[in-house]
Amino acid sequence: MATSTSTEAEIWERIIHPRGRMTKGAARRIQGLTFTEQEIARVRELAERNRQGRLSDDEDAELDHYLRVGTPLTVLKLRARRVLRETGRTS
């Protein structure tokens, strides 16, 4: 059995644009994806409580969920930015 080296972001990227290279339209939509201000504040609060060693088990799980979404989202947004920058040079 072959092992896979796909990251979560790479899997999401294939789901979002399965026919190959990310289009400008997809890149623009990805750039618009974001957490709400309330979610950002909550993540900051959880991160601070984590640094202080004061997270409950539920809060630890909640922070983990945000990180599991935020990390691949950041990677996708970086790739989208690169696509927009590269296509901007040729159009």
Domain boundaries, the chain: 35-91
- Residue 15 has a pLDDT of 78
CA torsion sign, 12 to 17 to 20 to 21? Answer: negative
Cα–Cα dist 91/70, whole Å: 31
Best CATH choice for the domain 35-91 from the list 2.40.50, 1.20.120, 1.10.287, 3.30.160: 1.10.287
Cα–Cα dist 7/57, whole Å: 26
For the entire predicted model, the pTM comes to: 0.70
Residue 83 has pLDDT above 70, yes or no: yes
| Cβ neighbourhood burial of 35 (10 Å; 0-12, 13-18, 19+) | middle
Whether 30 contacts 21, CB under 8 Å: no
Mean pLDDT of 65-79: 90
Residue 59 has pLDDT above 90, yes or no: yes
